[in-house]
Structure 1
Amino acid sequence: MKYKQLIQQMTLEEKASLMSGKDFWQTQDIQRLGIPSMFLADGPHGIRRQAVAADKLGLNAGVPATCYPTVATVANSWNTDLGERVGEYLGEEAVFQNVNVLLGPGINMKRNPLCGRNFEYFSEDPYLAGKMAAGYIRGIQSQGVSACVKHFAVNNQEERRMSIDTVLDERTLREIYLTAFEIAIKEGQTKALMSSYNKLNGTYANENTHLMQDILRGEWGYGGTVITDWGGSNDRLSGLLAGNELEMPTTAGETDKEIVEAVSSGQLDESVLDENVDRLLDLIFTTGEARRGSVANFNVERHHRVSQKVAEESIVLLKNEGAILPLKFGKKVAVIGDFAKDARYQGAGSSIVNPTILDHTLNCFEESGIISIGYEQGFERYGKKNRQLIQNACAIAGQADVVLLYMGLDEVTEADGVDRPTMAIPENQVDLLDALFEVNPNIVVILSCGSAVEMPWIGKVKGLLHGYLGGQAGARAILRVLSGDVNPSGKLAETYPLRYEDTPSYRYFPGKEVTAEYREGLYIGYRYYDTAGVDVLFPFGFGLSYTTFDYSDIVVQPDRVTFTITNSGRVAGMEIAQLYVGCESGEVFRPQKELKGFTKVFINAGESKRVTIPFDDKTFRYFNIITNKWEVEEGNYRIMIGASSADIRLEELLFVEGTGAPVPYDREKLPTYYSGKVNEVKDEEFEQLLGRSLPVSTWDRSKPLGYNDTIAQCQYARGWFARLTFHLISFAHWFLRKTGRRSTANLLMMSVYHMPFRGISRMTGGIVNMPMLDGLLMIANGRFFKGLRHFIKERNKMLKQRA
């Protein structure tokens, strides 16, 4: 152990105290031994250090910080160096704000387009997500502070995220949902990792020894700190045994006592506690050095310009009929849409950043050179229909050469804690588009949202520019692309299906009661669409440019592929070349192609560049459930170079020697997985893939409610008071949405409706302890007066102990 001598000086109580927060955002300190507290802050795309005391949770405004494009946006740049640069600037601001640990980036897979937190995640592909995340981590940690990769693992829905049991097979777990974490840990060398709320195959993630010990600590050799998501600790001792050092936020010493009692009784070996303390101390001291050298200030303007540069390189041009873009000199444009006046530039929930500067489209026209004849709001931001706004917009559109229509999703549609109900753009915006098309067909849509949407209206637009959520400088970045000052180079890091029903997890998302079944297995995103032959609107890796690129002269060697890219257009630009690999053996079921490398290259007009993409340890591997390790299947592999997953430009075969592992599957028992058409998998076949029977997926309404049952389950509680509470909460949610307070309604769903009972204790900072919670459960289970007496008794006892 690195801090053995220091740990030997600690009392058992002091060791235990370090394992839980001091308050909502700080860790415990031990002044007599010179151990300082750490400050942790949300920060996937900007520092969110709340401007309130650290003992308050809330979702209050943070100290002003640069709001960079969200990671879902930056993923479209496919530029790991750019991600590293964002990380460096995030790290610098973390040092300025005395933050030790930046809670990000989030690298969960975009399994389903309706996940409410997709705007905080990179991609549907683990290789791209892992490489981008590693860049962020290197950048953040170059400043002496720590990144905290999250949420480990298989956290792919927001609904019931604190209690849902994700059910999936081992191979899918390894290849799809853990690979990004593996890359982030091995290549990014992250010092901290956040465990997820959910269960994984029956065991809470932070207590899952297979996940935390066998894989994370054992196979990957991770020696850093694991931190719970806020309120994500279920059984403290089980979490500690699994190697989950830090529980956040504080429990006011309640779980510290559990640890002390467990060591004293012999239930927990003190050496296990010492190892956890040692790893946490390393994070405290190494990040403490950065805080002691805090910078007096940071260059706000320079950071803003960097945010703009990142946004420019991440914007995706999806449609450009008749070369309507870039806008020709002298063209008069009408600017329409509420998002033009008030930019939609970030997500909602725990990642909200208070920007230092905020660009809006209407304030940036003069420097862009684009001639605007005026602006109209066109639609109400939160979906209410308004014919007058549409009429006003049509009046100005008829006078313009080109209509710039700013559409998208509002702030409360994409939010931490809730999933989207639909993939559609709000109907009032589509009504506006329909009306504008009748007046002026030269429409360019500028889309602002952090996740995939359906576009049945796309035939009515000539241009489509997707800015995603471009941060505080995103509005100016979009104008620079529209004007032609910047040649767009972004490509989609996720597939856009024609309709939601086409998605492979359509029938299985979200898990509603006890379980979320990942019946589609390996086949998420393009892995499904390409293998099953399902048409999509825009494929993974797709993006247009104001120039054209030709590919030629492929040469495949055992350790690399080399080829030539030529800029055959008239302007300089950047091209993202993508390496896909597909095995032709057919013995082990696999997607038709999988991303195994990529590179982004700047090429002048008329210039050619020779490009090499190396192979690595992930190029040919698959996880074998019989040998329980990574293997290579012998056979011919298609080495494909594409401009997108659906636009393969070059292809060669390469024979690869295998590791000789036995075939782990019986083709006749898994026909759906061998075909890739996994949109409807029967129970028997999914059980065959799992190697076990399916767990019960519905609530047992005959049992009393317990710690891990949610407030939503009070609808069938034995106690009248609990049922009444459920109906009051449901009414409050309906009323808040009806009266336009959708953000508060979302917060109610996240922090109350889907909260397990134990969360009342874990998230209140010691205001309600577990014995008091026992009283609340008695009330919920029909023993009102006994439960009330117990609650009051335990509350008085707690207050007396603290007096």
Structure 2
Amino acid sequence: MTLKTHSSQDLLNTYRPLIDKLSLPEKVRLLSGETAFTLPGNESIGLAEMAFSDGPTGVRGLKFYGDPVALFPNATLVSGSWDDDIAREVGVLLSEEAARQKIHVVLGPTINLHRTPLGGRLFEAYSEDPYLTGRTAANYVNGMQASGTGACLKHLVANESEEMRNFMSSSLSETALREVYLTPFEIAVQDAHPYSMMAAYNDVNGVPATEQDHVQNQIVKGEWDWDGLIMSDWYATKHTSESANGGLDLVMPGGDGPWGEHLVEAVNRGEVAESTIDEHLARLLLLAERTGALSSDRSQLRTFEQQMPSPTDPARAEQLKRIASRGMVLLKNESDLLPLDSGTVALSGHHALATQNMGGGSAQVTPPYQVSIADGLGALLGSRLAVADGPWPRRRPLAVDPESVTDPGTGTAGMEVTYFAQDGSVIKKFHSDLAEITVGWDDDGSQIPARLRIRAKLSDTIETARLGAMGAGRWTLEYQDAQGTVVSLDRSCEFATNDPGEAILRPPAFEQICKVAAGSVVTATVDLVDTDWSARLLEDPRYNMVAESHMAGFDSFGKFALVATDVPVDENQLIAAAAQAAGQADTAVVVVGLTEEDETEAADKTTLRLPGEQDELVRQVAAAAKRTVVVVNAATPVLMPWLEQVDAVLVVGLPGQEGGHAVAEVLTGVAEPTGRLVTSYPAEDAASPAWSTSVDGDLALCYSEGSFIGYRGYAASMAPAPLFWFGHGLGYATWEYHGAQREGDQVRVELTNTGRRSSRETVQLYFQPDDVSQPVRLVGYQGIQVGPGAKASVSVEIDPRMMRAWDEESGNFVELGGGTFLLARSLGDVRLSIRS
């Protein structure tokens, strides 16, 4: 897409007539949010309100838990296709979802890197490689913006871990910043021109990301000549003048914060020039014009009247299923076990029945439905399939499924919720068909309640249950036991960190196993705590917080839920039953994985081991079965101590609302798993070039590996060889490479599909510099579909942005010297090499 760009002076000249109509307070008013996800308008200059929505695995809308929307396959399945067309299509479909909900800007894609496999938010990001990430992002943005919706690259920059993310400082060299962490942003800017970016929570080398004059003004707006808008992450802005002068254009969300009257006063004191405010406003007006929210003629504003597919549209289901299957990765396939033949199948594992189709945090949506692997495979295999549960894979309590309880007042599925004021009077009482209740965030309440009550009637079939609650406060939970006696549980849930995001994204919780009467009504009442975030954040100088900071102004708020889940039988019995079923079938398929408590915003992992007794499930099933397939329902690496005992391993990521159908089609050969890994899989914990996400006493996290991130570090022997390399993936065919030659800015290679099926191959081109101080790096890739026994010629373009190194002495990029091009299926399977 060709887009006219503007210099800062051009922007000011273009919008000067509108800017000059506004007073300083009116200008500043437009540079902060109106509500959690909207911006204010101004009729005098033809500016309509704008609406933003979280992404990138669905367009959630203006509510953290709102109306049903389409749940897309997660980011690693999109990038795992290594296919520009898939990334572009996802952008188009998300734009349709945005238009259906009258959203101007989708807050995605997330293009931070998979620096360490422990990162909790990796499922939202594309890969460990800056080139694959940037190229995927550029195509996603092009698809989205060509369809009329603005994209927002996030999070600028070096935001690769979640621990203490609001306060920690990523410590890295200028070389690593330029060669690795800024590269995806640069590629997306040059190849797609995104309308906006989001500044991260963290500091970078001691300076908050929202105040990074070096990154935001000098590099992004200066060197790259980018004319888009930089907004803060939600509540990320710490200081007034520093952020305004440092290149931030918009503070989010709405409410009291560090700009508003504080920024007006800073201008009046001479700390911030009014011309700086004017430039921020000009960038906002350009964003509004590009997304249809600015016109002197109100009838010309974007009205979103075009009818878009619903989240349950059959055509949408087919699209989501195809996208998911294209990114799935076949890691191992002994004796061509997959695709499955006509024999009987024993399916086991808790993830088979409760498939994890999305991660946690701001990427969560409320989908219209979710298809489990058991349902998907059952639809294709019918009576040939036997299904068994598996051990519980969770460590934290799980909010009640609102479909499994009824509202005692209405008798319909869901719960009764009541808000109380401090004096005990009822603020509001309503029915909820959502699992979790958010308070004081986006609930549009007239006042923050002092007490919250949730009531729900359990199913008549439940005799033993995990009962509890989620959310900070003092809880009282009442239920009837097996004898009909009312039992009361009193618990206090306290925050574990000083991160205000914990209240919404990872609230404290409790549960215990209880014997309950059939159909018992459970009543959970919580007295909300006064978090007093301001005092907690201001008292520690390491947090670099001031009184006007957005984050230091939090009122009581949080996420609350009832915990009420049926307790399965003893886990040893579950494993034994799964093994027994596996021994009676022709093939065993065991599904293992992670949950949204492992792959989530606001928390990192501490190990790559599968939670619970899932490894033992695989071992016992494999020991009993004739042939064993392991399906890994996770977006990020896990350890595989059972790898040599099983015949096939398929990684299916977090596959979205059509996940079960997509997995079933791949297992049975209706679709091919054409994906390639986007993250190297370590052989054991700590065996990677970068590992820990823990900060030191000064809240700093050192990026000591420099530019040797991921496969680059493995190739330089900075860690033991990985279990599986970045780029690995088998598909359902085998390949021969021959005849490689350099042709200008391309490398050409001849391929032969030596398999029995038509298949897609992804030719990966790496460059190994002769200079050993420089890492090997991916410089191009190209996919192609080839029939069985057929030959094809593939040309892979060399991206010149990957053929350079940062010279800290001169402060510029310089071209790399000599080296070797490697044509590979991954760095663990190099097929050909040629000198540069």
Same fold, TM-score > 0.5, yes or no:
yes
The answer for unaligned runs of 5 or more in structure 2 is 1-11, 294-300, 396-567
- Once residues 409 and 291 of structure 1 are traced to their aligned partners in structure 2, the CA distance between those partners, rounded to angstroms, is 41
Q: Equivalent residues in 2 for 1:78-227 (5 A)?
A: 78-227=82-231
Q: Which amino acid aligns with 1:38?
A: M
SS at match of 1:610: strand
The residue aligned with 2:26 is 14
1:609 equivalenced with 2:792 (yes/no): yes
- Once residues 228 and 376 of structure 1 are traced to their aligned partners in structure 2, the CA distance between those partners, rounded to angstroms, is 47
Report the more deviating stretch, 385-394 or 184-193: 385-394
1:582 equivalenced with 2:768 (yes/no): yes
Out of 645, 648, 668, the position equivalent to 1:463 is: 648
Query: Does the CA-based 8 Å contact 1:376-1:389 persist in structure 2?
Result: yes
Change in Cα spacing, 1:254 to 1:157, as seen in structure 2 (3 Å) is: closer
Q: CA deviation at 1:88?
A: 0.1
- Once residues 366 and 259 of structure 1 are traced to their aligned partners in structure 2, the CA distance between those partners, rounded to angstroms, is 60
- Once residues 696 and 62 of structure 2 are traced to their aligned partners in structure 1, the CA distance between those partners, rounded to angstroms, is 33
SS at match of 1:237: helix
Out of 317, 330, 353, the position equivalent to 2:365 is: 353
Q: Which amino acid aligns with 1:70?
A: N
- Once residues 538 and 166 of structure 1 are traced to their aligned partners in structure 2, the CA distance between those partners, rounded to angstroms, is 28
- Once residues 233 and 560 of structure 1 are traced to their aligned partners in structure 2, the CA distance between those partners, rounded to angstroms, is 44
Out of 800, 804, 820, the position equivalent to 1:638 is: 820
SS at match of 1:590: coil
1:546 equivalenced with 2:732 (yes/no): yes
Query: Does the CA-based 8 Å contact 2:40-2:48 persist in structure 1?
Result: yes
Out of 262, 267, 290, the position equivalent to 2:266 is: 262
The residue aligned with 1:480 is 665
Q: Which amino acid aligns with 1:7?
A: I
Q: Which amino acid aligns with 2:328?
A: I
Q: Equivalent residues in 2 for 1:350-499 (5 A)?
A: 350-365=362-377, 367-369=379-381, 372-382=384-394, 386-499=571-684
Report the more deviating stretch, 400-409 or 432-441: 432-441
1:626 equivalenced with 2:809 (yes/no): yes
Structure whose residues are more often strand by fraction = 2
Query: Does the CA-based 8 Å contact 1:99-1:291 persist in structure 2?
Result: no
SS at match of 1:148: strand
Query: Does the CA-based 8 Å contact 1:157-1:510 persist in structure 2?
Result: no
Query: Does the CA-based 8 Å contact 2:780-2:797 persist in structure 1?
Result: yes
- Once residues 15 and 107 of structure 1 are traced to their aligned partners in structure 2, the CA distance between those partners, rounded to angstroms, is 31
Q: CA deviation at 1:267?
A: 2.1
1:649 equivalenced with 2:834 (yes/no): no
Q: Percent identity?
A: 33
- Once residues 501 and 363 of structure 1 are traced to their aligned partners in structure 2, the CA distance between those partners, rounded to angstroms, is 37
Q: Which amino acid aligns with 1:402?
A: T
Q: CA deviation at 1:180?
A: 0.5
**Which portions of structure 1, spanning 4 or more consecutive aligned residues, are displaced by more than 4 angstroms?**
507-513
Q: CA deviation at 1:621?
A: 0.6
1:302 equivalenced with 2:315 (yes/no): yes
Q: CA deviation at 1:500?
A: 1.9
SS at match of 2:750: strand
Q: CA deviation at 1:274?
A: 0.5
Q: CA deviation at 1:152?
A: 0.3
The residue aligned with 2:57 is 45
Q: Which amino acid aligns with 1:596?
A: V
The one-character-per-residue Cα deviations of 1:172-215 (angstroms, maximum 9, x if unpaired) are 11111110110111112100100001111111111011111111
Q: CA deviation at 1:394?
A: 2.3
SS at match of 1:646: coil
Q: CA deviation at 1:513?
A: 4.6
The one-character-per-residue Cα deviations of 1:122-152 (angstroms, maximum 9, x if unpaired) are 0000000000011111111112110111000
The one-character-per-residue Cα deviations of 1:628-661 (angstroms, maximum 9, x if unpaired) are 0110133x2201111112211111112xxxxxxx
Q: CA deviation at 1:614?
A: 1.9
SS at match of 2:252: coil
SS at match of 1:537: coil
Q: CA deviation at 1:367?
A: 4.4
The one-character-per-residue Cα deviations of 1:299-346 (angstroms, maximum 9, x if unpaired) are 5221221111101110100111122111112x1001111111122111
Query: Does the CA-based 8 Å contact 1:71-1:119 persist in structure 2?
Result: yes
- Once residues 207 and 738 of structure 2 are traced to their aligned partners in structure 1, the CA distance between those partners, rounded to angstroms, is 51
Query: Does the CA-based 8 Å contact 1:335-1:372 persist in structure 2?
Result: no
The one-character-per-residue Cα deviations of 1:43-96 (angstroms, maximum 9, x if unpaired) are 101111144xxxxxxxx4232221111111211110111100011000011011
Q: CA deviation at 1:231?
A: 0.4
Q: CA deviation at 1:508?
A: 6.6
The residue aligned with 2:463 is none
Aligned-residue CA RMSD (Å): 1.7
The one-character-per-residue Cα deviations of 1:213-242 (angstroms, maximum 9, x if unpaired) are 111011111110001000000112211112
1:598 equivalenced with 2:784 (yes/no): no
Out of 248, 251, 260, the position equivalent to 2:252 is: 248
Q: CA deviation at 1:514?
A: 1.6
The residue aligned with 1:25 is 37
Q: CA deviation at 1:253?
A: 6.6
Query: Does the CA-based 8 Å contact 1:554-1:563 persist in structure 2?
Result: yes
Change in Cα spacing, 1:582 to 1:39, as seen in structure 2 (3 Å) is: same
- Once residues 369 and 349 of structure 2 are traced to their aligned partners in structure 1, the CA distance between those partners, rounded to angstroms, is 22
Change in Cα spacing, 1:253 to 1:324, as seen in structure 2 (3 Å) is: closer
The residue aligned with 2:540 is none
- Once residues 826 and 389 of structure 2 are traced to their aligned partners in structure 1, the CA distance between those partners, rounded to angstroms, is 36
| TM-score, L = length of structure 1 | 0.78
Query: Does the CA-based 8 Å contact 1:441-1:461 persist in structure 2?
Result: no
The residue aligned with 1:500 is 685
Query: Does the CA-based 8 Å contact 2:131-2:802 persist in structure 1?
Result: no
Q: CA deviation at 1:408?
A: 0.3
Q: CA deviation at 1:511?
A: 5.0
Q: Which amino acid aligns with 1:400?
A: A
Q: CA deviation at 1:372?
A: 3.2
Query: Does the CA-based 8 Å contact 1:315-1:489 persist in structure 2?
Result: yes
Out of 224, 227, 232, the position equivalent to 1:228 is: 232
Q: CA deviation at 1:558?
A: 3.4
SS at match of 1:240: helix
Q: CA deviation at 1:560?
A: 1.5
Q: Which amino acid aligns with 2:54?
A: D
1:325 equivalenced with 2:338 (yes/no): yes
Q: Which amino acid aligns with 2:747?
A: V
Q: CA deviation at 1:435?
A: 2.1
Query: Does the CA-based 8 Å contact 2:352-2:372 persist in structure 1?
Result: yes
1:71 equivalenced with 2:75 (yes/no): yes
Q: CA deviation at 1:441?
A: 4.7
1:272 equivalenced with 2:276 (yes/no): yes
The one-character-per-residue Cα deviations of 1:719-742 (angstroms, maximum 9, x if unpaired) are xxxxxxxxxxxxxxxxxxxxxxxx
Structure whose residues are more often helix by fraction = 1
The one-character-per-residue Cα deviations of 1:223-268 (angstroms, maximum 9, x if unpaired) are 1000100000011221111221110012337621122112222222
SS at match of 1:498: coil
- Once residues 369 and 390 of structure 1 are traced to their aligned partners in structure 2, the CA distance between those partners, rounded to angstroms, is 23
SS at match of 1:3: helix
- Once residues 20 and 393 of structure 1 are traced to their aligned partners in structure 2, the CA distance between those partners, rounded to angstroms, is 55
Query: Does the CA-based 8 Å contact 1:304-1:357 persist in structure 2?
Result: no
Q: CA deviation at 1:569?
A: 1.2
Report the more deviating stretch, 108-117 or 355-364: 355-364
Query: Does the CA-based 8 Å contact 1:116-1:418 persist in structure 2?
Result: yes
Q: Which amino acid aligns with 1:319?
A: K
The one-character-per-residue Cα deviations of 1:27-55 (angstroms, maximum 9, x if unpaired) are 1222333321111110101111144xxxx
- Once residues 257 and 134 of structure 2 are traced to their aligned partners in structure 1, the CA distance between those partners, rounded to angstroms, is 37
Query: Does the CA-based 8 Å contact 1:66-1:355 persist in structure 2?
Result: yes
- Once residues 135 and 551 of structure 1 are traced to their aligned partners in structure 2, the CA distance between those partners, rounded to angstroms, is 28
The residue aligned with 1:55 is none
